[in-house]
Structure 1
């Protein structure tokens, strides 16, 4: 099988035949034509990985062939061959979109080397386009599950603000999907061709957080053996997602505020400013305004990040979304078991819809993933769900119990359940709960949670 399919465009017959022979001997499938009009017709009819075209072709030039090639879906790489006197035109071809140009006379080794590089570039570009297409499909607004009015309102807001560059604050309990919403904003913004970088500000000490975000220079601290870019620089022209921003210290908030105000950062150990063009999306599982009132979050930073505020409701307040979400997670994780995706029994649906979901959408996904592994038939039954769902569901899900649990009781029991599930591994527990390690430590201290024995 040929390595790739090439279109050769050369008006000199002897040269065309000679080059075609070289390419065929190198195991490429080659179509060769003698003028620009025929080349353009071939590009309309067939798919090519690379076009090798002379610049001077007569009525239609290599530039015309190039413009046609880059206009089609999955465009091929284009290499222009030019004589010494037309270098300016070759440079113009690069500006328009050619991958490379070669100057006559060209040796066979030089030609084949350029083609190999051009094909590698084409494969990479094809892969990038496929990933971008997948990203657009995954984060299309139509793919965000919102059957009820509250989440539909959230998506309407996200759809509207995605086109702007305004800073966004997303608030909601852990596990409600704040990062998913942030990624949807990025994927539908003008910055979607650049990097989306996420960091959990509550998951690391202040000094480490500073070096992660701002970078550092060699010798800035013990272990800083070389210069390193921070996440602000990594996200240049893209989006930086600051999760759990409410967990940051007052000292760090000052540095973050300066970066947002000035549009520039300073690496740790360096006074030289670095300009960054970054859209900030911040998130918090706490009410930041309340933290401001308590003196735990800077008011000026709050107003800087709270240009657009999006509040994601907890899953218990949008029960109409539970079944569509569960079915979505079944499709996503069905590879964990052989055969077609299982269904949900009426009894299992009732349990899911009655439970209070203190871990929100993340807990629902974990529950479905577990049920897919444990289900013994083609239908997921209540027996396949964690016992805690059935124990807690009627009491705190429907509100019909004589003694309904408070949210603090639910949170306490949920933290203990996840700690037991992870064999009291606090790092893994904080990951499952979607909170920082320091946040988990504080909650364990607040609720006096201690490992038995």
Structure 2
């Protein structure tokens, strides 16, 4: 008989002794007498079910215990005295956070059924999570959409090529996440990753931040400072919002990329630097070059490899997966009675255009987790209107599918369902047409 493990927080140990006397032989209980011991037992892993005994009122609730019970990995059952259930702090905590609760004294048959159901639910959640992790994405990113699959294929080639990379895409699409992936999955992974937002640093300080300075180089330079370029030696330098650099600094950066050495402000000695530059921008650098706002020679130095990050509205298939990933991440950090998303919330998220992209999604999900008064997040918790007969967002992939189906069906009608004539009319082979008809579920 295989034993099922359960963590039991039982300060006095009385309930554990009763369980042993009642013949729960198919369970192995691991007792913790304090919240700290419960956390330590949980970190060892293996328990899918937790039991918390509240045989008297507990106020305040110890923070380690509150965080532990909020963990999504374990299904918790409370065994509570009537006094504990009526307590203004402990009672709501039990009702909103636990999988189930039983009023003491112990009811062994009912508890056996509850523990079995909790264990089965936890096992199913782990199976679902493992399957999701295996197929949810790559390079530390989340997404299964065609747009993300294309990005993964590009990254497969980019991480092994030690050349400058230019990332473009709207604000909030995850450009720094991609830059970190280029670092973490490349031969430079053991070197530093230095990130610098060119738009967030005052113009008077950028020169020093990039190239460093010597003591006394200017008023306030009280000691030598290593610049970000030099600090990224043998690693990756990520320059976010590169389009905001002044033309003067663009010239200095170009000189570095040509010679791969820097001169600190106030110094004369050249310092060789071996770094890979990854730059990012949300503006159109082609247009900036045409309007003489960005140097063409620097653009071509940076644009050796160009990756465009798709906005969230072009990867609608990933929205629910991203939302659940964000929820799981923050649910382990902050106790919350919320257990997930309602179907209406998922539909509202998929209908929203997300001008702030993934950054906006993270913000809305975290807000809903904190402020929602429901067990499942609703559209209004996210600050979104519930969709009313809202048509699905037309992605490029869906548009192509609709166009393919329309053209094939029209050709088949014109040619009286003659597949050979339709294939010639469409300019494709008969085998290709049959394959498309099968994929689009078109019956001639």
TM superposition score normalised by structure 2: 0.56
3-state DSSP of counterpart to 1:189: coil
* 1:280 and 2:277 aligned: yes
Question: Could you say if the C-alpha distance between residues 279 and 227 of structure 1 is closer, same or farther in structure 2, counting changes exceeding 3 Å?
Answer: same
Deviations 1:141-195 (CA, angstroms, capped at 9, x unpaired):
2542121111111111112110121110000000000000000110000110111
The structure 2 residue matched to 1:187, chosen from 184, 187, 208, is 184
* 1:241 and 2:244 aligned: no
Match of 2:370 in 1: 373
Runs of 5+ unmatched residues, structure 2? 1-133, 395-444
3-state DSSP of counterpart to 2:262: strand
Q: CA deviation at 1:240?
A: 0.2
Match of 1:390 in 2: 385
Match of 1:214 in 2: 211
Separation in structure 2 between the aligned mates of residue 154 and residue 188 of structure 1, nearest angstrom? 14
RMSD: 2.4
Match of 1:314 in 2: 311
Separation in structure 1 between the aligned mates of residue 321 and residue 141 of structure 2, nearest angstrom? 11
Aligned ranges 1:425-444 → 2 under 5 Å: none
TM superposition score normalised by structure 1: 0.54
Q: Is the 8 A contact 1:354 1:394 kept in 2?
A: no
Q: CA deviation at 1:320?
A: 0.9
* 1:351 and 2:348 aligned: yes
Q: Which is helix-richer, 1 or 2?
A: 1
Separation in structure 2 between the aligned mates of residue 234 and residue 394 of structure 1, nearest angstrom? 54
The structure 1 residue matched to 2:202, chosen from 199, 202, 205, is 205
Separation in structure 2 between the aligned mates of residue 232 and residue 288 of structure 1, nearest angstrom? 22
Separation in structure 2 between the aligned mates of residue 145 and residue 352 of structure 1, nearest angstrom? 16
Q: CA deviation at 1:266?
A: 0.9
Match of 1:103 in 2: none
Runs (4+) of structure 1 moved beyond 3 Å? 391-399
* 1:231 and 2:228 aligned: yes
* 1:268 and 2:270 aligned: no
3-state DSSP of counterpart to 1:203: coil
Separation in structure 1 between the aligned mates of residue 261 and residue 388 of structure 2, nearest angstrom? 50
Aligned ranges 1:25-424 → 2 under 5 Å: 141=138, 143-335=140-332, 337-338=334-335, 342-386=339-383, 389-390=384-385, 398=393
Question: Could you say if the C-alpha distance between residues 391 and 349 of structure 1 is closer, same or farther in structure 2, counting changes exceeding 3 Å?
Answer: closer
Separation in structure 1 between the aligned mates of residue 167 and residue 392 of structure 2, nearest angstrom? 25
How many residues in Structure 1 have an aligned counterpart in Structure 2? Answer: 260
Q: CA deviation at 1:263?
A: 0.3
Q: Is the 8 A contact 1:354 1:393 kept in 2?
A: no
Separation in structure 2 between the aligned mates of residue 362 and residue 241 of structure 1, nearest angstrom? 19
Question: Could you say if the C-alpha distance between residues 245 and 394 of structure 1 is closer, same or farther in structure 2, counting changes exceeding 3 Å?
Answer: farther
Separation in structure 2 between the aligned mates of residue 240 and residue 209 of structure 1, nearest angstrom? 14
Q: Is the 8 A contact 1:217 1:228 kept in 2?
A: yes
Match of 1:53 in 2: none
3-state DSSP of counterpart to 2:229: helix
Q: Is the 8 A contact 1:263 1:277 kept in 2?
A: yes
Runs of 5+ unmatched residues, structure 1? 1-136, 400-453
Separation in structure 2 between the aligned mates of residue 333 and residue 303 of structure 1, nearest angstrom? 41
Match of 2:13 in 1: none
Separation in structure 2 between the aligned mates of residue 142 and residue 190 of structure 1, nearest angstrom? 14
Separation in structure 2 between the aligned mates of residue 380 and residue 213 of structure 1, nearest angstrom? 45
Q: CA deviation at 1:340?
A: 7.2
